[in-house]
Every structure is written in structure tokens, then in C-alpha cells.
Structure 1
């Protein structure tokens, strides 16, 4: 877990339950969230399923029991594993560290509710609700494949999308920030592989591997998640601030940001920032970023004592989770999560 700890954070411990057992011959391992849940308190989006570990991160507290699994993993005990941690995996063995990191990646949220049963594409729940990962899958025409008006559950239209070989993960950014995160969606559906892995596009010798590529090979060690894997992990919410965070600077000037109201949230086109008590502050810098850190809006309010209300038009940005950072003249900073419908 220490490698993942360098790339994600949560105020709640993530419990991983792992076993070695006999699995099908073509399977190295399985990993998944212990369960998904939707419409929980602090859920960024309604009617979207989130993995339990991410739910606890977003809520800032335990959701299930503190000793219960958040992620479950099983590894095939019949495979020739290399259990060393130095990355020098013999060509006759599979690297166990790589496999463990990969399956934990599924448990963190690179997983979902879409399935295909003998050509019948469908959701794994009766409400036809996507996981947060599913929600950000788009086809080559930038159509969201979980849009039930375009691609109903249990339909040939949905089946075509799941096997189109042209899916991408793209959650925000006006310039298709994550368009290069191609998803593995082969023409023939493969259970346990299709759509919940990254499609390998760079076959140059020495090119870095992505941890969440579809296939693993003997002698191959990948102990770094890779940029595309992290883009996806961040996109589903792992680099979102837990609740609201306040970073306090030095000095005793009254902060202007601790009593700010932001509404409506979630919003469609306009969002309003309104200060109830500005203290003796006169200036506040407002910066709104997407989850990759890209700035989508920036403004300095230099007269909040007299005009403590700001209405911002954000109609041009895409649906998703954003971070609004408010910094006053004493360098005291408040970061709040906002959601574009």
C-alpha cells in the first residue's frame, strides 16, 4: 500500500483483505471494492455509485466497520509469483507487487456497474445507475456512454459502445484534458478485462507501463501507477479535498473566508459566493481548478467589504467536481468542493 499512499490520501484507513486461492488458469487475480453505495451524505453526484474507500475519503469518516474490508483481492496461488520488492522479476515469474497494486487500483474505483452477458450489455443494478468511473466514459463522439437516453440499459446500442474499441476516460477540462486516457474496449467483450483497464497505445521499447493496463506478463514489474492511471484515480475523486479544508496563515487579522456561502451547489451555469462577515478584509483571490489542477476561473475581489457577493458564470466548463480556493489578504486559504451538473 505504501506506493499507493504516495499518490492518494484519505483521513480514514483503507482496509484491504487479500487471499491466495485457486483461480481459473487464465486469471492472475481479482480486485474490487467491498461494496458500492450511492446517495450517501456528501455524495458529489446523485444516483452514482462510489466505492466504499472513496466514500470514506469524501466523508472523512468510517462508513462501514473500522475492521471491515474496503477492498477485497484474491490472487491465484497456482501462478509462479515473484514476491521480491526490488522490481527485478525473473522472466519465469509474475511480479506480485505489480499484481497487488493493480488489484488495489480496481478496489479504489477503477471498476463499475457495466457488464455484458452473451451480447446483452446491461447494468449490474436494477436502477441502471453507473459507478463514478462508468460516468466518465465517453465514446469517440464525446457522448457519455451511461447516458440512458442515448444508450439504454440492456440494449444493442449500449453493447456497441462497450465493444467499440474507442472509449476514453474524460471527466473535465475544456480541451479534453484526459482524452489520451484510452480505455481497453475490444470488439469482443472479455469478462473481467473489458472497459475497466487502460488501453496500451505506446509500444515503443522502453516506454513506461501503466499499472492498469489490461494484461500482465512474466518478468514485468510496474511499481508506479503511471500518469494515465493517476489521472483516472484523481478524476473519480481521490485528489478532492476531504469536506472543506482551511489552511491558516500567520497573524491575527480576521479571516474573510470562514463565513462564505457558495450556492447553488451543485450548480448548472451560475454559482454565487457570498460573504456574511468580511471582518477587516478588503481583498479575496478566487481560483477554481479542475481535479488535475488546471485553472478554469480566476478573479480578485478588491472590495468585498462593500460588495460581498459575487455571481460567476461557469456555463462553459464541463460537468464534474471542481475545487474553489479562496485566499484573503493575510494568505489564509479555504478550499471548498463545488460540482457542475
Structure 2
């Protein structure tokens, strides 16, 4: 969910319905949409399907608006359920997309799992290649918004008066939007995502202070937040918690808590990436986080996913230099296990020789971007 505050224009929708092709996702698209919109939406759903085991189809209700006056490019409102059949943690709100997988049945019959609003004034690129510097990649944006409905979702909230709570979000904060399902923001319990949020001290954010208190509001607003997943999330992140957005002294609804921190470059669930960027592959820490809250991953979800081809990539492990090349390769980025960008350079003649002799020892991720908009990610051990 992005920038859902201060929305002041009325929204007008039409009733035309389009259904997605991927069996794992069912998209209902309301209104007249640009050419390529539905195809790109299907691709976004399929990309998540490549990583997640989905046995109960995920139902997504999609709306479009077109106004440069609205302060958002896209917004997700997630449905949810608690204490359902086979719920791993009681008195906790799960996104219904996940609750259905855990229950093995549809727990929210007749309801969508998420409502997504896309603002067509954002200048979207609907293709599968690389958008221009003036365009926002729609596939990346759709994957981001779907990711919120999969579980990157918090019901932590701070009132204008500074009172903090979990599960006490008034529906008025999303006005004039109205969810197509009963509002789940005031269930009085945290989400499963919230249960894993800690402060730098290691204290659980959910239990650090009383509900609807100034102390909890201050804790939500101030100092860094982390997702601490001891089984899978931390293991995917060099055995350390994952930094989340927020904690800068203020609270922004729809931004804080439910995004990966901006310091993690080229991450689908970070709050912002610029025009011209494509972020279509979940980072290992994002998949580890989803597994932590209950999702089962396909084997490819823990390995590299081939989209284009590299002619060579060696040596691995490496200590002095790594060499790689691929037809159409034009740019590469290297990230450490914390998701921090270490190096970002263009490739010369579709190849690269990278001096890694000064890199601290450890595991790194090399992402190679191709002219057709595809990318490949490789893990390399520097020792």
C-alpha cells in the first residue's frame, strides 16, 4: 500500500470484467484499461506463482483511476482472517490469501483477497522489456502491490494525537476508498507480519507498550524497525533481521512498517524505486520473510531463476576477481547479504571483470540486467 493518506478526489469505476490466465491468481479488472495492462498484470501474478505454492486461487479485485492530483501510484487493501482452520497462531490476523493456503480451503467465500488501485496517471510502461527513464514499470508495481496482499501488511497505526495501536485502524484513513470486503483494520489484533517486528533493542514492537497508548505510538514512530524471523527470514539475510521502513520520528500511514527499508536497493517490497527501474525478481530476504509468516515456497523460490543466459560466470568462490558475460547484458549490480548495494556499473561489450579483492568476505548477489529487460541473479562467495 502506498500513500493512502490525503486522497481527496472522488473515484469513478466501470464494470467491465477481465479474468487472468494464471490458475494461481484470478484478477477482476474493473473499468477500461490501456492496451497491455491485463497482460502485464497476468505476468506479475505468474511471477509470484513461480515462487509460491498456491493451492487455493488468490482473488484480486483491480480498480484504476487516472488523476495527477492523487498522491499515489498504486494502493493495496488486504482482506484478512484470524482463528481460521489450521491457523498457526491464534488471535492474529493473516492475509486471506495466506489463510486460505494454510486452511486448505477458501475461508472468505464470496470475497476478494485484496483490492488494488492503480493510478494510470503514473506513466506506466506495460511491456516486458525495460521502461524509459520517464516511465514506471507496471509489472514491478503490480508485483509490489500483490506482495502486500500476500503478507507484507501491517495494521500498526498512530493517530494524529500520537496514540499507537495494532488492529485499531479506522476505515476513514482510506477515504474515499471503500474495500469490497468487510474492513479488517479494527480487529483489535496484530497481523502475522507485525508479530515479527522488533526494535533495535530486540524487543517485540507489538508487546513493547500498551494498546492505544502514547508509549506505543512513540515506539512506532521512533528508531529503527526490523523483521526478526528466526527460522527462515534471518537465514536468508546473513542471519540478521531485515530492516523495515519507518522509525524516522514520524508516522506515515501506508508507508511505515510494511515495506523493506529504502537502503535495500532494487527490492520489490521497498517503498520506492525510480522511473526506468525494473524489479521483477523477489530478493532472497523477501522470500524468506514470506516463508516465515507461513507461505510454502517452490524449490525455485530458494534458488536462482533463469530468465536469460550468461555465457560464463567464474570463479565461484572468488577472492580476487569475478568474470561474467552474456548476450545482450548491459548492466550489473552487486548486493551483500543485507540487501545493500555494493557496486553498480554498466557492462562493456556485454562482459565484466570485477575486482572483489577489497570486498569483505561473505555471500553476495550479482544481478545482471539485459537489454530486453530481463535479468539474472547469481550468488557468489567472496573468500
Normalised by the length of structure 2, the TM-score is 0.57
Distance in 1, Cα, partners of 2:273 & 2:135: 11
Q: Structure 1 residues 127, 212: closer, same or farther in 2, change over 3 A? A: closer
Equivalent residue in structure 2 for 1:184, among 220, 227, 245 = 245
Task: Verify the 8 A CA contact 2:158 2:217 in the aligned structure 1.
Answer: yes
Equivalent residue in structure 2 for 1:26, among 71, 75, 80 = 71
1:141 matches 2:201: yes
Q: How many residues align?
A: 231
Q: Structure 1 residues 197, 104: closer, same or farther in 2, change over 3 A? A: same
User: Residue in 1 aligned with 2:157?
Assistant: 115
User: Residue in 2 aligned with 1:167?
Assistant: 225
Equivalent residue in structure 2 for 1:49, among 85, 88, 93 = 93
More divergent stretch after superposition (76-85 vs 49-58): 76-85
Instruction: Indicate the SS of the match to 1:157.
Output: helix
Higher helix share: 2
Distance in 1, Cα, partners of 2:134 & 2:259: 24
Distance in 2, Cα, partners of 1:213 & 1:114: 18
Task: Verify the 8 A CA contact 2:234 2:242 in the aligned structure 1.
Answer: no
Deviation of residue 127 (structure 1)?
Answer: 6.0
Equivalent residue in structure 1 for 2:215, among 146, 157, 161 = 157
Task: Verify the 8 A CA contact 2:60 2:114 in the aligned structure 1.
Answer: yes
1:63 matches 2:107: yes
Deviation of residue 134 (structure 1)?
Answer: 0.5
Structure 1 residues not aligned, in runs of 5+: 203-207, 242-341
Structure 2 residues not aligned, in runs of 5+: 1-44, 169-185, 299-383
Distance in 2, Cα, partners of 1:169 & 1:4: 21
Q: Structure 1 residues 109, 175: closer, same or farther in 2, change over 3 A? A: closer
Task: Verify the 8 A CA contact 1:27 1:76 in the aligned structure 2.
Answer: yes
Q: Point out the structure with max Rg over C-alpha.
A: 1
Q: Structure 1 residues 10, 220: closer, same or farther in 2, change over 3 A? A: same
- Give every structure 1 segment of 4 or more consecutive aligned residues whose post-TM-superposition deviation is greater than 6 Å: none
Equivalent residue in structure 2 for 1:89, among 121, 128, 131 = 131
Cα root mean square deviation, aligned: 2.2
Deviation of residue 173 (structure 1)?
Answer: 4.3
Distance in 2, Cα, partners of 1:26 & 1:83: 21
Cα deviation 1:119-155 (Å, max 9, x = unaligned)? 22223346631100011100111111111xx311111
Deviation of residue 46 (structure 1)?
Answer: 0.8
